[in-house]
Structure 1
Amino acid sequence: MLFEEWKSLFKNKFLIIVIIAIITIPSLYTIIFLGSMWDPYGSVENLPVAIVNKDKKVTYNGTNLNVGKDLINNLKENYFMDFNFVDEKTANEGLTNGTYYMVITIPDNFSANATTVTKEKPSKMELEYETNPGRNYIASKMSETALNKIEKSISEKVTEVYTKTVYEKISELGNGMEKAADGAGKINNGMSELSDGNHKITNNLNKMTFGTLSFKEGTKKLESGMLQYTNGVSAVKTGSKELSDGISSLALGANTLSTGVEKLSNGSSSLVTGVKDYTSGVDTVYAGTAELVKNNTSLNSGINTLSTGVTQLKSGSSNVLNGMQTMSDSIGSVMTEEQIQKISQLEQGMKTLNQSIQDLNTTLQSVDLSNPDTAAIIKSGVNQIAVNSNILIPGASESVKQLSTGLVGVKTVLDQTGTTAKDMGLIQGMKAIDSGISNIEEGINGTVESETDGLAGGIHAYTQGVEKVNNGVEKLSNNSVKLKNGATQLNTGIAQLKEKIPSLNHGVSKLNTGASSLYQGTSELVSKNETLLSGICQLSNASETINKGTSALALGSKSLGDGITKLSDGSNQLNSSLVKGADEIKKVNTSDDTVEMFAAPVETQKMEASRVDNNGTAMSAYMMTVALWIACLAICMFYPIAQYSGNLKSGFSWWLSKFSILGLVAIIQAAAMVFAIKGVHGFAPIELGKTVVVACMTSLAFMSIVLFFDISFGKVGSYLLLIMMLLQLSACAGTYPIELSGEFYHVISKFMPFTYAVDAFRNTTAIGGSIRVQVLVLLGIIIIFSLFTVSVYQRKMKKLVIKI
Structure 2
Amino acid sequence: MSPAFRLGGLELQRFARARLTRAALVAVVLIPLLYSGLYLWSFWNPQGNIGNIPVALVVLDDGDLGRELADNLIDRQIFAWKETDPADAEKGVQEGTYYGSLTIPADFTANLKSPSKDGPPQPAYLQVHVDQGKSYLFETIAKAVFAEVQATVGKSAISDYLDRIFVSFGKLHDSTLKAARGADQLADGAGDARSGAGRLQDGLGTARQGTAKLSDGLRTAGTGASTLAQGLGSAKKGADDLLSGAYKLHRGAGTLTQGLVTAKDGTSKLAAGAVKLDQGAAKLAAGNAEAFQQVDRFRPVINQLADQAVPFLRSHTGDIRQLAEFVNVAASFLADCLADLPARIQADRVKADKAYKALKTYLDTHPDLDPQLRTLLEAAEKAAKRLAELADWLDALVGEHLADLKQLERDALGVARLARQLANLAPRLAGLIDQARDKFNELDNGLAKLADGAAKLHQGTGEAVKGATKLDAGMTKLVDGASKLDTGLGALVAGANKLDIGLGKLTGGANKLNAGLGQLGQGAGSLDSG
TM-score range, shorter chain: under 0.3
Could you state the TM-score of these two structures normalised by the residue count of structure 1? Answer: 0.19
Q: Which has the larger radius of gyration?
A: 1
For normalisation by structure 2, the TM-score amounts to 0.26
